[in-house]
Structure 1
Amino acid sequence: MDQRLRLLQPWLQSQVSELAPKSSFVVESLAGDASFRRYFRVVLHSPSQSQQPDSLVLVDAPPPESLEPFVSLAIAYQEQGVRTPKILATDAKLGVMLLEDFGNRLFADNLSMATALPRYQTAIELLPQIMAVKQHRQGAIPDYDRALLQRENSLFTDWLLQEHLGLELSAAEQALWQQVNELLIENALAQPQLGVHRDYHSRNLMLLAEPLQGGRDLGVIDFQDAVRGPITYDLVSLLRDCYVVWPRDWVLARVEEAYALLQSEGLIDGVSWQQFLRWFDLMGLQRHTKASGIFARLYHRDGKAGYLADVPRTVQYLVDVSADYPELADYHDWLKARIQPAIAAKAAKTEHQESV
């Protein structure tokens, strides 16, 4: 047990004694995410067959990480009928909390064309409830404003192109990038601004053993960075997932279903299908621009090498979508001629270095 867990042990023992009297427990590490938080499963062993839980989730988020956005947003989501983990205990000074354990069944597990449709349709049906969360007990959630969009887009040039690939952009390349950057920002700001989970994808959705309302068995996690932003953002995160790729026609069919749903909810009155699809496509470019930079940063700054494998797939989205828009023709050609070869060469070099 590391020093941090030893520090948390008295608090954990006290909480378990209240939640599951007379139980012993063991702590097991769980896979983490892209943050500095750590996650553990607290497996309970009870001498009786009571109705207490079998396990809990311990979240270790020492300052300066904050528990507050998670706690307030969990409550706000639950008020809208979104199934998020129940918060069982928190200590803001220690930077620790105990949550309901959603188990091990990820939305991403055993995905195939046979299993995907009902899962994705359920996730899409949940979007209006997520969009309704624009404030919590601490007030309004942050806006996905121009400054934030600019910072996110800069991750692509700062971390992927410069830090990871070592590229120096010419004046013409910088001008091209600035044109694309501005197009993506304007597209995001032009959309209806509603609640955005901000990481609504296959690794942050759970398949629950106990369905909530209407038989829906979907649990939502990792929502603490929610903002008020573009209506297509979470839909893009879900359907053009950085970790899972689906056929284009299949994705477009799901986008059409989402368009019909949002129209029926009165959230996109007067918005044509062509306009909505353009919002969706360009929003995907912004998200994948950001994500490819984040994956490079996770490797160079945080030592998380596993995310590098997601870079080629994420940049391929940029290539594929930009091919559909004439105003992005130069950008499309630049990605294919300059960026993708550099990514392939860097991957080959890294693989060679690791093998010797």
Structure 2
Amino acid sequence: MSNRFDALLQFARQYTGDPQLTPTLISGDASFRRYYRGAGLVWVDANPQTEKNHEFVRNAAALHACGLLAPEVRAVDYRLGLLAVTDLGDIQLINCLDETSVLAWYEKAIALLPQLGDVALALEPFDELFMARENAIFPEWLLGKHLQLLLSDAEQRLLDDTFACLTANNLAQPQGVMHRDFHSRNLMVCCVTEGAPVPALSELAIIDFQDMVMGPLSYDLVSLLKDCYVRWPDAVIEQGMQLGFEQLSQTGLLGELDYASFRRHADLTGMQRHLKAAGLFTRLYHRDGKSGYLKDIPRTLGYVVDSCQLHGATYPVLAEFGDWLVRRVLPGFAGTVVEGKGQ
């Protein structure tokens, strides 16, 4: 047994009073966290050197306070990075989705966004400096480390101008609390009754919320609809965008913003997120030895190309950037297998 598992075992047995308890491994994830189940709880090994445990506990309490379903923290050892949280089951939303049910499920997820956007928390702003740190991931890890591309001065200017455009877009729109990773793998389906999960008889719980910040309110909606792990038909994305706009507008969070402006904001916000995500996927491979995310890069960059083509007339720099991605970057992933829409 590892030293960390020994510590978790002692933590779990001390909290439950059961000297025989031995939690069983559920899974790890894209971070360095590991999850175990036992005695009706989930036990989390979250090394404090890499994980945001104070933020997780704080944010969990705030989500519960505003009526959102999320893991409830029952015990925590901040020094060792060990937590006991309530068990929300094993059903991720992504495993319930198909082309006949996706809109009904997404309607439930989108209904959470007004509450989430208005959570009472003093959070770090998703400002220019924050985005600069994120924007550096794509050129460092995907362009440099993975593809070994040496950018010309003109290419570097194009990259800088593109990120400047996307940063200005994110700062110019209505702001609120954003999850930053609101998608179908971070929403758990909790069934109200026994049987196969259906939207009408299920609730959605939010997980992986330790990285919440204050930023553009379109961010979580576009994270959900333009999912890095599954792509839906454009009609599904459009209906979801309209529904999200209506939900956020009805609560006053968007002020006087009209739908056309909101949709443009969301598409460009998605671009900034997807470029960061593509960089993270290559970092997970080269730094952390996790290759499973490489297959998601063509899909993720495909969203970027689509938005560049859609908004290139309004933002010429994006038209040029989209062409450059197609010519210089996507060929590097030509052998990667990507599932089709709805898969």
The normalised TM-score by structure 2 is 0.91
How far, CA to CA, are the matches of 1:7 and 1:239 in structure 2?
40
Q: Does 1:149 align with 2:135?
A: no
Q: Does 1:107 align with 2:100?
A: no
Superposed CA offset, 1:285-336 (max 9, x none): 0010100000011111111111111111111111111111122221111111
How far, CA to CA, are the matches of 2:306 and 2:27 in structure 1?
31
Residue 83 of structure 2 aligns to a residue in which SS? strand
**1:36 corresponds to which letter in structure 2?**
F
How far, CA to CA, are the matches of 1:62 and 1:172 in structure 2?
42
Of residues 152, 155, 163, the one that matches 1:173 is 155
How far, CA to CA, are the matches of 1:324 and 1:66 in structure 2?
37
Superposed CA offset, 1:109-161 (max 9, x none): 131122212210011010011001251xxxx1111110111111111111000
| Alignment: residue pair count | 326
- Whether the aligned pair in 2 keeps the contact of 1:107 and 1:203 (CA below 8 Å) is yes
Of residues 61, 73, 78, the one that matches 1:92 is 78
Residue of structure 1 in register with 2:323 after alignment: 333
Residue of structure 2 in register with 1:296 after alignment: 282
Identical positions, percent: 42
**1:61 corresponds to which letter in structure 2?**
A
Residue of structure 2 in register with 1:13 after alignment: 13
**1:32 corresponds to which letter in structure 2?**
G
Runs of 4+ in 1 over 4 A off after TM superposition: none
Residue of structure 1 in register with 2:197 after alignment: none
Residue of structure 2 in register with 1:58 after alignment: 43
Superposed CA offset, 1:20-74 (max 9, x none): xx695332222222212221122x3xxxxxxxxxx21111112223411000100
Deviation at 1:216, TM superposition (A): 5.7
Residue 101 of structure 2 aligns to a residue in which SS? helix
Residue of structure 2 in register with 1:200 after alignment: 182
**2:87 corresponds to which letter in structure 1?**
D
- Whether the aligned pair in 2 keeps the contact of 1:208 and 1:218 (CA below 8 Å) is yes
CA 1:8 to 1:165, structure 2 compared with 1: closer, same or farther past 3 Å? Answer: same
How far, CA to CA, are the matches of 2:96 and 2:62 in structure 1?
31
- Whether the aligned pair in 2 keeps the contact of 1:134 and 1:141 (CA below 8 Å) is no
Larger Rg: 1
How far, CA to CA, are the matches of 1:13 and 1:58 in structure 2?
11
How far, CA to CA, are the matches of 1:7 and 1:177 in structure 2?
46
How far, CA to CA, are the matches of 1:194 and 1:218 in structure 2?
21
Q: Structure 1: which 5+ residue stretches go unaligned?
A: 45-54, 349-356
How far, CA to CA, are the matches of 2:207 and 2:281 in structure 1?
20
Residue of structure 2 in register with 1:126 after alignment: 112
Q: Does 1:31 align with 2:30?
A: no
How far, CA to CA, are the matches of 2:54 and 2:208 in structure 1?
13
Deviation at 1:103, TM superposition (A): 0.7
How far, CA to CA, are the matches of 1:149 and 1:34 in structure 2?
21
- Whether the aligned pair in 1 keeps the contact of 2:9 and 2:22 (CA below 8 Å) is no
How far, CA to CA, are the matches of 1:233 and 1:78 in structure 2?
22
- Whether the aligned pair in 2 keeps the contact of 1:89 and 1:99 (CA below 8 Å) is yes
- Whether the aligned pair in 1 keeps the contact of 2:222 and 2:266 (CA below 8 Å) is yes
Higher relative contact order (CA 8 A, sep 6+): 2
How far, CA to CA, are the matches of 1:171 and 1:203 in structure 2?
39
Q: Does 1:309 align with 2:299?
A: no
**1:58 corresponds to which letter in structure 2?**
W
CA 1:134 to 1:331, structure 2 compared with 1: closer, same or farther past 3 Å? Answer: farther
Of residues 236, 243, 261, the one that matches 1:257 is 243
How far, CA to CA, are the matches of 1:174 and 1:4 in structure 2?
44
- Between 8-17 and 243-252, the greater mean CA deviation after superposition: 8-17
How far, CA to CA, are the matches of 2:52 and 2:59 in structure 1?
13
- Whether the aligned pair in 1 keeps the contact of 2:179 and 2:209 (CA below 8 Å) is yes
Paired residues for 1:230-249 under 5 Å: 230-249=216-235
Deviation at 1:273, TM superposition (A): 1.2
- Whether the aligned pair in 1 keeps the contact of 2:191 and 2:202 (CA below 8 Å) is no
Q: Does 1:83 align with 2:69?
A: yes
Residue 334 of structure 2 aligns to a residue in which SS? helix
